[in-house]
Every structure is written in C-alpha cells, then in structure tokens.
A and B are shown apart, each in its own frame.
Chain A
C-alpha cells in the first residue's frame, strides 16, 4: 500500500475516533444527568457503540506506520493529524461551498414548494459567495498546503489521560448521585471551561510576576520557560587586599573601595553599591570608614578530582572566576581559577526580590528612584479626578434639572462632541498650551478636566434625571439656593455614579500615555505610564527588571481594583446602557 493512502486512512480513522470519543463522553454525561424523556436503554447502547468505535479507530490511527519522511520520535503512539494551511479566502470559500451543498440537499428534501425555493436561493447565494472567494483565492495565489503531523502519545501520557477521564466521570457520577440535581454535570463542564479560561487569562500575569523575581540566568532557558525562580546562595566575604567599606557620601550610605590616598590623609573612595552610583568617587576620612563584607556567590565544582564547595572571590576576564574553597576541610582556603563550565552556582528555590530595587536604581538619579514619577502621577490623578467630578456634576445638574433658553441646542452639541476623535483637536490644543508656556509641565494633562467632558456629563445627567423631583422641590420651598440644592441635596444622591466616574478618571489619568508623550520632556515632570515606555526603550532587554518595573507600575491600579471592584464592574454596566 502506498504511504500516502495509509496516511489518509490513518488520519480518517483518528478523526472518526475523536468524534466517536466525544459522542461517548456526551452520552455518558446525559446518562449521569438523566434528563426527563430520555431513553436510558438507547443512550446506553449508543454509548457502548461509540466507545467501541472510538477505541478501534484511535488504535488503528495510532498504530498504522505513518513515517512520511518526518523523523519519528521514539514514543509509542503517534496520532496522525491533517490540517489545511490556507488563507482566509480559501477557508471562506470552502465554508461557502459546504453551506451551498447543505442548502441544496435541504432543498431536495424539502416538503413544500416555498421551502424548496427558499433553500435553493440560499444555496445559490452560498454558491456565488463560494465562487467569489475561490476566485479571490486563485487570484491571490496564496498556496494551499496540507500540514501533516503527528501527536506523540507516550505510555505515561496515555495512562494519565485515561485516569483523568475516569476520574472526571467518576466525580461527575458521585456529584450526580449525591445531589441528584439536574445539570450538575453541565455545571462541572462550565467550571472546567471557566477554569481553562482563567488559566489563559491568568498566565500572562503569573509569568509577569514570576519573571520579575527571576535571576538573570533563568531568563532564557533552553528547555522551556522557567516557572520556579531560584536564587543563588551568597556568603559574606572579606577581601584582604581590597576591603570594602561602608561610608556616608552626600548623606546616603554607600559601600565603597579605596582608590588612592590623597595628600592630607584623606582617601579617595569609589562607590560599589548602590547600583546607580557605582563608579562615582568621593573623599573620605579613613576614621569614618567601617570594613564590611561583600556578598559573593557560592559555587560547587571539582578541584583536583574532588568535589568542592567554595565562593567566588573574583570575577575575571572572559567569564573565568577565582574560587576560594570552603569545604571539604582539607583544602579549605585554597584559591583556584575556574572555568565557567567547571563550577556551578548553588541555588535554592526562592524569589529574587533584588530585581525591584535594582529596577528603580537604574532610573535616572533625578527621579529619586521613581518617587518623582509616583508624585507626578498622583498629582495628575488627583487633579483630574477632582476636576472631573466637580465640573461634570455641576454641568450635568444644570442640564438635567434646570430650565434655560438654549438648553436643547447646547445639549445636542455636547452629545455630538462625544463623536469627535481626539486627534482633531490634538495639534491646535498643543499650540494653545505652547502659547501658555505649559510645555514640559503637567498642566496640559489635567487642566482640561476642569471643563467637563461630554461623556461623563451625559452619564451623570441620566442619574440626576432618575432622582425624584420632590426632593428638589422640598429644598426649594425651604429656601435653598440652586448651588446649595445641588451641593446638599443632589450630590449626595448620585455618589455611586460619582464613584464610578472617579474610578474611570483615575484609570484614564494613570494610564494616560499620549499626553505625556507630547507634553512632557524632563524626568522631573514625567508620570509613570510614560516612564514605563522609556524604561522599555532603555532597559527593555533586561526582562526581569522590566517586569519588576511593570509590576510596580500597575500595582496601584490593581490594589484600587480589589478595593473598589464593585464600582469598576458597575461602571462598565452603566456605560453600556446606550439603548436600554
């Protein structure tokens, strides 16, 4: 038999097997749930048949020799798979042709003349679409290739799969038996689907966090992604030749080494830590210095045939390291130069928290480890929220509760500005702020919020409308002015809506990127969102630091979300009632 034919048979058998297996699982679920009006006997028979077919077909598909030039991995079974690799047009064309055939078949089977007509016209339309798409496909000259491959199934995976399936069915059985509630298996399936979804949505987060705690060497791994971060063990080491000193420079404590002695008894010191000041020099009085140990990594390796454990006392050119042996005792204290392959760092599972301060230390010094970014963002957020709440609520109040000539026109104008893309006003607004001398300040980012955005006004107006008139009338009768009515009677009524708007504005201001990109130049005035992009540009290659910085940048938002989740989710719902 030709291998091509064998391959086709194998594939067909596999697909049949999968479908039969799915049907068996479905019938099993139905048996367990026992929906009313179901024939138990028939279902059982169907289940048995499907399971049999599935078993035979999958076995057949798995065992047929399917080596078509592809190197075969030495696993037990390979399930052959065939897939058409083709462009969107080809897929659409194939779909249309299939639909046309189905509709044509239905037309042939139809009972009434009307039905025949309707089906036929549908078939014609699908057919036409098929011709168009296939024509486009031919025209685009995109190749249609058949992907042939195989999914290896080793014995252990097979056993695990079977066990898993058995377990699931067993669990479903117990649940069905215990509760006897209809649809419990559906609930289980739902949960499964939701859990899978959670996993898909959660994995990027998990990866972000894990990566932010990784050591440099775990960032790239040949055998897949490292999910368990490890940290190198370090021990204190006092270098007799180049001692390290703790010192004070410009009122901050640093660790430094001596460069030279200056005339007058002072020493010229060079900073070794923290990172952002490495290499800077200062003069110090030798009396004020205190010797401190340096933390060096612990390694294991072999020395003269013995396995040893030692510490790296010096990093040499070209990746070599000078190692001082700590154990076994007979060679303790011996130093030797080790090739990077000869020794291996001792590491244990743990989180490398150092990435976080390191990421901040790499920021420009004038940002004071990112605190300036935080300050700017907080100022921006505060004024934006304050301005939006104040201006939008008062404008919305006027539009909802007060009568004045021109109200209708003005409100229509307000609504129509919602459609205006920000790009249209971007350039002239830039020129206006330039005229005001506000480039490289935060003003252009928050001052406009004091002038009531259309969307928020619209939303608050809806809220004001739902408040009973009586409240306001009572206040008026008591002699309240409009301002007082607004402030003391109306505002308390719409606090939930204000909370939602506050949160949106918070998010908008925190995430604002284009604004700072255009208006802010110096780090002193930069908010966090922009700083993240700059960090990506400058230190993006250092994945762990980047992730640590990104985590810090999104942390406040996440915290806010967990405390005010209700408003976030209500808020989205509020916005959605365009038509309701």
Chain B
C-alpha cells in the first residue's frame, strides 16, 4: 500500500519544487526608484518598432518613469479583461482604446475625464489641443461634453479596385456597358461591375467575387452614413437603427450579396481567405473592396507591384448626382472613420505619469519620432514604410511629404485617405456603442441570410439597443440598493443556518463521549461548512438578489423587480430561444452520439481481444487533452481551406471528384458549426468508453450462459441481458452528459475568441450568453437571472430523469 502511493507524494513534492524553483530571474533592480506606467493595448513586435522606439525615447526624456507594455493579456478589443481589471481595482495606467467604445466606458465611470489636464497644460507644447484635431476624431473620444481619450490615428475607408482584373474582364465589362478603365462611383454601378467580375467554378462555387459588401472594412455603417442615416437620435435618447435610410443601405448590401451568389456561399468563400501576401484582393480573388488606411502599407510590403486603383467608396446614385433627397448636399462622397485613442482608466494608480506618457505619444514630436523610427526600421529590413492617417491635422501634412511612397498608386491611395477625412462621419458617441455595433452586425447577418427582412432585422436590433438606453435613462427612477443589503441577507442566512444546526444539536441529548465525537466531527466538516456558506450559499443568495437588480459593479445597484426575468420573454426572447435551441441540438444529438460511440467501442473491446491496453489507451487519450488545446487543434483540422485543413483536404480528394460536392466551411458556416462542435466532442468520447467497459465487465457471465441455454441469439442477449445490466450507466451518462452539455463554454469561447457567437449566432449557448452579459456588457443583474434560469432548468431535467429512471433502469438491488 505504502510503496504504491509513494509516487504520488513524490510527484506532488516535485511539482511544488518545480513551481517554486522556476526562475524569476532578471528582476529589475535599477527600476526601484522609477514609477512604473502600465500600458495596455499596444502590440509591440517586430512589425511595430516605432512605438517601441518612442517609448524608449519617452523614458529617456522622463527618467523618473518606466513604461511597461503588457503585450499579451489584454487590449483595446477585449473589453472583458479591461472591465474585470478596472472593477478589480488593478487597472492599467494607460489604455489604447477603440474610440467608438469610449462613451460606453465613460458612461460607466470606467475612464477618467481628461478635461482638467487638457486645460491645465494648454501652454505645454506637447499637450493636445482640441482645435488641432479633426473634430470628428476628437468628438468620438468624448462623451457628454467631456474628453476621455486623446486620438492617435484615424482610419477612413475608400474603394480599392484591382486594375488587372478589370483589364482581364474589359471585354465583358464593355459588353455590359461599363467602362473598364474607371472604378464604379455609385451603388448601382458597383453592383453592375460586381456582376460582371464575379466568377463561379464548375461546381457553382465562388471563384472570384467582384465586390463583397461587408468584406474589407465597410459594415452597414458605411452605406448607412452614405444614405444619411443616423443610428441615434440627436438627443441621444432614441436608437434609430431601423430608419428607412438604414433599411435602404441594408437592402443594398443584400443586393450586393445576391449578385455574388448569396451570403452563405460568400461566408464559405471567405472561410478560405488568408492574410499577408495571399490576401484575396492581392490575388485577384476579390476584385473590389472597401477598406481602411492600413492597406497601402500591406500592399507596399507584400505586393509592391500590384496594379490597383483607389476611389472614394461608391455612394447612392442620388447622392452622386446630387439630386432628390441629396440635392444641395455638400459631400458628394462619404466615408466613416474610427481609430484609437489613449485613455486613463478610472482608479489608475499613476494618472499623472500616464498623462505625461499620453501627452508625449500624441504630440506632433512624438508622432513624428514614432514614424521616423518605424521608417528607419522598415528600411533596414528592406521594406517600404507607408504612413497611416493621423488624427492630428498638422502631422498629416508633414508626413505625406516626408514619407511619400515611390509608387504613384500607393501615394495616391495615401493621399485619398487623407483627403477623404474632410468627408468623414463617426459612429454615434453613445454609451450603447458596443451594443449597437453587436446588434447591427447581427441584423446584417440575419437579413443577408434572408432569415428576416431588412426592416425586421433592424427593428429587432433597434429594440434591443433601445431597451438598454431606456434602462439607462430610467435608472434614476429605480430605487438604489445599498450593497450591504445582500451582504446582510447572506449573513442572516448563515446565522439562521447555524442557529438551526445548533437547535438540532441541542435537541440531541448527548453523553460526554458522544459530545466529544460530535465536536471533533464539527471540526472536521468545518472546511466544507465554511466553503459552503461562503462560496455556495452566500453567493447563491446574492445571485438571486442580483437577478432582481440592474447592477454593473461600478455604479449603484438598482432594484428592477422581475424585469430581468420578463426580458427572457421580451426583448431577449430570440437570443434566449436561440441559445436553448442550440443546446438542444448540441445535447440532443451530441449526448446520444457520444453514448452510442462509446458503447460501440466498448463492445468491440469487450471481445477479449489481444492488445486491449493499447486500444484502450488510444481511444482514451483524446479525452485527457485540455479542452482549449483540443479546440485549437480542431479549428485547424476543420479549417475551410482545403490546402490547410485536414478534413477538407480529405474531402477535396474524395467527395469533390466523386460527387462534385464542395467542402463545407465547418465552423464558419451556420449549418455546419454545431455538427463540427459535436465531432470535436466525440473525439473525447473515450472517457465514456471506459465507463461502458467497466459496466460490461461487471455483467455476470452466468446470465449469458442462462440466456444461451434458453436459445437466445446474440442480438437478443444484448437487448435482454446486457442493456438492462448497463442501464444504470446509461442513466448516469445521460444525466451527466446533459448537465455538461448545458454548461458548454470553453471550446465555444476559444472558437469565437469572445466576439460574437458564430455565424447567425449558431454557437450561442446559455453560459456564453451569460458570460457576455456579465463580463462584456457588465449586466450582472441580467446575467444572474440567466444563471438562475439555468439552475432551474438543470434541476428540472435532473428531477425528470430521476423520476423516469425506475421505468427503465434496472438495479440489482431493489431500493
């Protein structure tokens, strides 16, 4: 006994030793006196030496500060990390944040307003001055009249068109009455061009797309702004996502998809896209795209000889000809801008140092030295440096001269990006910016898939956003809850529990020995009891309480009654229904399939075969692979590109030539996403197999002997002897499988990277929905309500299963 378990003790000891001994060398010694500024969101690496050089320069100029960039771990686009850090009182000092979401954070008091600093340092040449910035860029980082971020770059979008493709198709373009030497200027023109330039292969799949409405970086925002739509009413209180202008814009996008074979096929086509030198636009797989000011750099780096042209993005015909609604309009073309800004999260420990950092980085001097360093670095590596548009107006004038690209078409692209800044629009600065973005993406997808009409899809998104706005504006009416109440409630619960226990204890008349034993026993169960009260019962009560409130952790909780629960059936009905339908699909097909495949393998292994250990190991091995690692592996196996994905490579060499079936896009396609997930799960079905095997070994052989004497065939034996004997395992596995399936999260988060939930929400599951609500929108109250709904459903399912069990589960001992 002793020797058998020695290894475990040894392993544990070794683990600790290793863990503690792992080197933490190179601890900074000279930095003790310097204040450390922690910066998130900057991606330093071989491709961004400018930032790095600039930071070193800043440190040289400010010897009392040390800048620490956390390269991995968080960043502008992972709101969940930033929020937990701010809420957890360990925020970074500076964050590089996407401007359009600034108001979102500002409304939650998550960022520090910078007005006082801007005003104080007006005489400092480094300090940012509002009038030196494009108003659109500056305003985007402001909220309710206060500045929360200092803009860095600013990206606008223009049309890129591949001249080579146009030349190749010149004949066909002319036949369609289109000029192959110039790009389209209006919506109807671009659709006509796209129709001619799109090519399908012999299986009817896309080979080249003329123009994909939402590829590159256009989104509905582009077309809606061109059509004079606004998403939020001027007073900021109403969401107008479903305006007739936006509907028209969305209809244009849908028409654009119809021209190239529909949204679903395009999704699949896009699943095979790669980056860098294999970018589909560079390779002529997409003839035209609307994209941002980062493209010239990519062209200069990967395909410097690309024959392309640029033009303002096509606009509605009436706008181009300045007629109808658009008569007297001053902008013939329109673009929209976004970009990043430096902000200081609330509660930052070194706000003053952070401000000095921001001042330097956004000053003209800082911007120029940044670009010069990057230029020098790129030159060194034999690359060409191409600038991007800055939000600081004066800087643009300097850089467009100093770093003018040698190729005329790249230079023209850079210049057009700068020029278009005068015709730019921004996404509305509203606290529901993130939600509006997410809902607009969802609406476009549903309308493009023809699940809904544009008006329906937009109306749904509008309702969802409006609800958040109402909630925000109405919150003053809701009573504030003192957060001590749930704490007291929890404490009261604990006291009642302990009192109950005590009274129970009193009722027993214990002798001295029994009392001695009981006291020891209480001491022994204390760890569990404490854990139960603090980590289970208390949180349960608190969570139930939260589910009746509106609470974002940073501001006061407000009592909303059963509103969160009503929302399941009101505004969030479709998402909730989708989430549970997905679970039904995943569980209803995945769990039985898992059971069945496990049983099949176990039956084979039960044939007293040689080498069973080997087989068992092989089948079991995938079950122990960490979920994250196995998901990452399967994402590559199921990659849509037949040149890279294992499954599609096999498909391409068998099913395609046999039946002419094109390989599916798996995880990126709505219909295949869930089956893919089920297949991933089946790979780990080995643990079930072991369980079945143990069960099979436990069936008494006498039963089989008796059955075969009675003349039962192997088939009958299986149904009459094996299955009843195995029924407890079936029962156990079903219950556990369903409970596991309902709580699926890890692999879905890894697949979606925490953004969206697959095409048309095909991977939206309850726990993921809960997580998004809790840690992306920080709606703790609503998330708690989902958690409780989940709890109740699991409870009911389990009870039903236990109630049904006696009908078909066979127990050796009657109970």
Contacts and interface: CB of A to CB of B under 8 A. Distances in A.
A462 interface: no
A131 interface: no
A49 interface: no
Interface in B756-777: 766-767, 770-771, 774-775
Contacts of A521: 70, 73-74, 81, 84-85, 88, 90
B691 A576 contact: yes
Contact of B524 (A207, A378, A395, A432): A395
A423 B790 contact: yes
User: Dominant SS at the A interface?
Assistant: helix
Contacts of A511: 626-628
B795 A419 contact: yes
A420 interface: yes
A457 interface: yes
Contacts of A363: 72
Nearest to A319: B277
A580 B728 contact: yes
**Smallest CB-CB A-B distances: 6 pairs:** A451-B531, A439-B88, A579-B728, A149-B659, A378-B19, A375-B22
A434 interface: yes
Interface in B513-529: 514, 517-518, 520-522, 524-525, 527-529
Contact of B202 (A71, A318, A537): A71
Interface string B332-344: 0000000000000
A493 B74 CA distance: 48
A543 interface: yes
User: Dominant SS at the B interface?
Assistant: helix
Interface in B610-664: 611, 615-622, 624-629, 632-637, 641, 643-644, 646, 649-650, 652-653, 657-661
A427 B382 contact: no
Contacts of A237: none
B12 A385 contact: yes
25 contacts: A149-B658, A186-B607, A197-B615, A204-B637, A219-B644, A279-B49, A371-B22, A378-B15, A378-B16, A421-B739, A421-B743, A424-B787, A424-B790, A428-B538, A428-B540, A434-B88, A451-B535, A457-B528, A502-B8, A514-B745, A517-B80, A547-B636, A557-B624, A564-B7, A580-B728
Contact of A382 (B16, B70, B528, B543): B16
A278 interface: yes
Question: Which of under 10, 10 to 19, 20 to 34, or 35 or more describes the interface residues of B?
Answer: 35 or more
B658 A547 contact: no
B23 A368 contact: yes
Interface residues of A, number: 156
Nearest to B781: A427
A220 B81 contact: no
Nearest to B729: A576
B536 A425 contact: yes
A138 interface: no
A177 B621 CA distance: 36
A270 interface: yes
B505 A391 contact: no
A74 to B, nearest CB: 12
A335 B814 CA distance: 89
Given A427-B543, A482-B517, 17 more contacts: A81-B659, A204-B646, A225-B646, A378-B15, A391-B531, A394-B524, A405-B505, A419-B798, A427-B780, A439-B89, A451-B531, A451-B535, A523-B71, A532-B628, A538-B72, A543-B644, A558-B624
Given A423-B787, A521-B85, A526-B73, A513 B275 contact: no
Interface stretch (A21-29, A40-48, A324-332, A406-414): A406-414
A404 B522 contact: yes
A195 B794 CA distance: 38
A49 to B, nearest CB: 25
A541 interface: yes
A367 B16 CA distance: 19
A372 B23 CA distance: 8
A394 B691 CA distance: 28
B618 A317 contact: no
Interface in B656-710: 657-661, 683, 686-687, 690-691, 694-695, 698
Contacts of B504: 405-406, 409
B604 A573 contact: no
A151 B46 CA distance: 50
A141 interface: no
B780 A378 contact: no
A483 B517 CA distance: 11
Contacts of A565: 617
A568 interface: yes
Nearest to A376: B19
B134 interface: no
A425 B135 CA distance: 46
Contacts of B32: none
B22 A507 contact: no
Contacts of B421: none
Given A219-B644, A378-B15, A568 B81 contact: no
